[in-house]
């Protein structure tokens, strides 16, 4: 039976770049069963819910999901969907591409972001007219599971250097959050030691200073949820923006793939959105489902087009989404 892929275009340019990514998947010699589902601002306007239970259930029951972007309702959609696929790690590569303007072209970092806890716990209380609190949660189990994933990732040569000896860096703020990030730090370093993987550490503020000064110092970076959110977005700024970056929310038996960019309301509907991030997300999906060779082919085709093919407006060109997509398919 072919793998079932739920396809959620969402809002804005999600409706343009997700079909582009699906077109690329369909052009390969891999059989998938695509199932469309709805979520986002438009869905909320139409049904009252940004994320209908039917969509949640479909995603939870699928083999993988390809998601575009949601507007105002982004958090209402993506946070439950990460839960639906039981995702414990958000994989976020930030890499500059040859021929694309980047502040730090040598940046080549993969963030492995904890995807279930930290300040994303959802436990907030309004205790008085003056006071609100949030319970930041860190467990040894989630920290160790992330670390196990990181060790495997590094040992499989999936880090930027491809060299297992490179190890990883754990970024945290354990000098202030001594108990919670202290636990995170300790468990991650402990798992690395057990697995014989090199791990060094960096305070997240120091990391934010050093990454722009010298990105070549980092490869695989393991961090708590919010640290991963902010530091990976910082890396995106160094490689030229969010426009080209894919991501994977990986669970135990399911996963969701999404471009890091948003709905880009300024250009939505014009057919000129850059489909690169969505197509690269599809490449991550291929690899996740075991089609490693096809994933590599898609990635190579995208890189080829980025270096000497048609370009959308964000990269200084005037090509349409369709033209770029056709050029990628052409090179496969």
Ligand X SMILES: CC(C)[C@H](C(=O)O)[C@@H](O)C(=O)O
Q: Could you give the residue numbers annotated as active site?
A: 120, 173, 205, 229, 233
Contact criterion met (CB below 8 Å) for 52 and 39: yes
Nearest approach in angstroms of CB 201 to a copy of itself is: 14
Residue 222 · residue 147 · CB < 8 Å = yes
Which residue, 119 or 289, is less far from a copy of itself as judged by CB? 119
How far apart are the C-alpha atoms of 20 and 15, rounded to whole Å?
9
CB of 279 to a copy of itself, least distance (A): 20
CB 8 within 8 A of CB 67: yes
78 makes contact, choosing from a copy of itself, ligand X, none, with CB < 5 to 8 Å by partner type, with ligand X
Distance separating alpha carbons of residues 277 and 324, to the nearest angstrom: 12
Residue 111: CB atoms within 10 A of its CB come to 25
295-324 binders of ligand X (CB under 6 A): none
Rounded to a whole number of angstroms, the minimum distance from the CB of residue 229 to ligand X is 5
Rounded Cα distance, 105 and 302, in Å: 17
According to CB under 6 A, which residues from 240 to 259 bind ligand X? none
- Asked whether the CA dihedral 149, 155, 157, 160 is positive or negative, the reply is positive
Backbone angles phi, psi at 63, to 5 degrees: -85, -30
Using CB under 8 A as the criterion, which residues of the chain lie in contact with a copy of itself when the complex forms? 74-75, 79, 103-104, 119-120, 124-126, 129-141, 173, 175-180, 182-183, 204-206, 208-213, 226, 229-231, 233-234, 236-238, 240-242
The helix/strand/coil state of 81 is helix
Least separation in angstroms between CB 182 and a copy of itself: 8
Write each residue from 49 to 88 as x if it is in contact with ligand X (CB under 6 A), else as -, in one continuous string. Answer: -------------------------xx--xx---------
Binding interface with ligand X (CB under 6 A): 74-75, 78-79, 175-176, 205, 229
């Amino acid at each position: 039976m072919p793998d079932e892929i739920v396809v959620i275009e969402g809002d804005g340019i999600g409706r343009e770049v997700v079909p582009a990514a699906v077109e690329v998947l369909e052009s390969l010699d891999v059989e998938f069963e695509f199932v469309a589902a709805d979520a986002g601002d438009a869905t909320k306007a139409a049904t009252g819910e940004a994320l209908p239970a039917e969509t949640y259930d479909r995603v939870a029951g699928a083999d993988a999901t390809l998601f575009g972007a949601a507007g105002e309702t982004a958090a209402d959609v993506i946070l439950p969907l990460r839960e639906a696929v039981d995702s414990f790690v958000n994989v976020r590569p930030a890499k500059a591409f040859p021929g694309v303007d980047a502040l730090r072209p040598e940046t080549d970092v993969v963030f492995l972001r904890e995807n279930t806890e930290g300040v994303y716990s959802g436990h907030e209380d309004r205790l008085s007219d003056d006071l609100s609190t949030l319970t930041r949660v860190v467990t040894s189990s989630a920290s160790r599971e992330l670390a196990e994933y990181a060790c495997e990732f590094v040992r499989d040569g999936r880090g930027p250097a491809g060299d297992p000896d490179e190890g990883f860096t754990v970024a945290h703020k354990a000098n202030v959050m001594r108990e919670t990030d202290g636990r995170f730090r300790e468990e991650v370093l402990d798992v690395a030691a057990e697995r014989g993987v090199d791990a060094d550490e960096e305070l997240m503020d120091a990391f934010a200073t050093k990454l722009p000064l010298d990105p070549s110092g980092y490869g695989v970076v393991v961090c708590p949820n919010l640290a991963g959110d902010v530091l990976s977005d910082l890396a995106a700024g160094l490689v030229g923006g969010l426009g080209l970056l894919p991501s994977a929310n990986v669970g135990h038996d399911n996963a969701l793939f999404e471009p890091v960019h948003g709905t880009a309301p300024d250009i939505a509907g014009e057919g000129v959105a850059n489909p690169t991030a969505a197509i690269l997300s599809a490449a991550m999906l291929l690899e996740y489902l075991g089609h490693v060779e096809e994933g590599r082919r898609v990635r190579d085709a995208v890189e080829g087009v980025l270096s000497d093919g048609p370009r959308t407006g964000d990269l200084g060109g005037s090509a349409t989404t369709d033209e770029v997509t056709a050029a990628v398919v052409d090179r496969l």
